[in-house]
Structure 1
Amino acid sequence: MQVTQSTEMGSARLLHSSIDYSCEKQWAIGCHDSKTRLFSTEGIETTTLSCAAPVRKVRFSPSFSQLATASASLQLWDVRTPATPTAELPIPTPARSMEWHDTYLAVTDRSRQLQVYDTRKGSSPVLQIPDQGAECVVWHENYLIMGDDRGTLHVWNTPSFDKVWQLAAHTGGIYAAYATQDHFVTGGADTTVLFWDAPTMTCIQSATPQQQPPRRTKYISSIAGSNGHIAVAGPDPGIDVFQGTQLVGTVPSKPAEEVAFHGPLLACVSLEPGPVMVHKLSFDSSSN
């Protein structure tokens, strides 16, 4: 794996918090100045959304031209006509994690509640879990998967939201998760990356600091993927890149708040004020 090009996106003076890419060919970047900024694939700013407070998370809907921004509340935007939000949903405290599945929007907040909204049906959550230490959420097909602050995975089936699994997964809190077509990936306080088969909830691969360099000494805060590649990041410098379940390289970076993939483009939001870095990656045939 090689980094063939690195470019900057966004302001060198701002603290950015979150980034996502949409099927409408746009980047969205949440900022601490209470704005969400939309950029073209080439990194040209196209739109600025005025949000209710510093923006903690941004996520595009996979099925519709909708963007969710999490600040003092959850605001939904139609990115084709983004002058004002189309809806506003309540959250008790700022968001920690947020993910879409069709019209469902799941969010965990700093009070470690999990709330799931059906955005077609108003502002009342269809699932609310206030007391299980919710840290992160991810959807895999019809499964809603939540990682908690004790290292446990909780799994619900949709649309009934019956709980179907609960199992000990990590030795510390689970702060990040990402779903591929075939499996999902988790990481957190124990710095271990686990690859899971969703239908059976069995661990199919473990990548620990002792088994595969580079060594992470703090925690994993963000996992993203594209085209069979997985990026893993946190407050340790460098972004680990996996192909399948195998580590294929590390992208030099500052400590990261969040990463996002689009094709060969890997975007990184730093924990420090400064622009979002976008790295173009090349994978040689020996890593395929």
Structure 2
Amino acid sequence: MSPPVFRFAPSPNGYLHLGHAYSALLNSDRARETGGRLLLRIEDVDATRCRPEYETAIYEDLAWLGIAWETPVRRQSEHFGEYRAALDRLSALGLVYPAFESRAEIARLVAAREADAPWPRDPDGAPLYPGDAKLLSADERDRLVDTGAPYALRLDMAVACRRAAGLTWNELGERPDGEHGIVPARPGAWGDVILARKEIPTSYHLSVVVDDALQGVSEIVRGQDLLHATSVHRLLQVLLGLPEPAYRHHRLICDEMGRKLSKSSLATGLRELRAAGVTPAGVRRLVGLG
């Protein structure tokens, strides 16, 4: 049997904080305990926010924590062709359509609909896509694309769910609701999620499932803030014929107000803690690993 494969996959759009340290250490610990492999992946598809200095800092902070990973490191910006191929497969199944509304136009559509009744939200609290772009004819879609109009490529969730009913995943972590083991996936709660944009041929949802499959990741250890997104990931895995990993969603490290840490939180930044004399062992104690 092949050894289990784990991954830590930060985005270089800011410096790492205690929450990142907790997730990275859990992955490292699991790899060591199981005789598995630990991969590092740099999720840098957003060129407007990702910077080389943040990527360099990721390597420095993880090495300081005593975490070792296999090389070469996979950088998503170097694999757009693979994401585009996956998107083409979904398109060939009739599951993808372009939507041309701007964020401002979507906000106006939601506001108009909420004049009568609350508009549904996804598990993260964002309104579901309210437009009717998938009703456009193929000729009209092509005409709009030819004009150079910006667009987002969305998954036709209703059709996709009919093709992949009864989805579940194997949850190894401790969920706030106590549910674990085989968990039902509910991707329909997300509506017609974005899979790519005109200028970027992928999204988080698409690239993460492609990467995990290509890298052979067998156990995904990540925060509970991504628990519900697993439903979308399981759907894409089935649609694309990708293997199913196990999932272990861990608790979040929060600030004094009980809020999830952000990369702008200097008080919990690893660089700031290191400068203040905190040791790697001290970081483990701060995140409750002892």
Please tell me the TM-score bracket, short chain as reference.
Answer: under 0.3
By percentage of residues, which structure has more strand? 1
By percentage of residues, which structure has more helix? 2
TM-score (norm 2): 0.26
Structure (1 or 2) with the larger CA radius of gyration: 2
TM-score (norm 1): 0.27
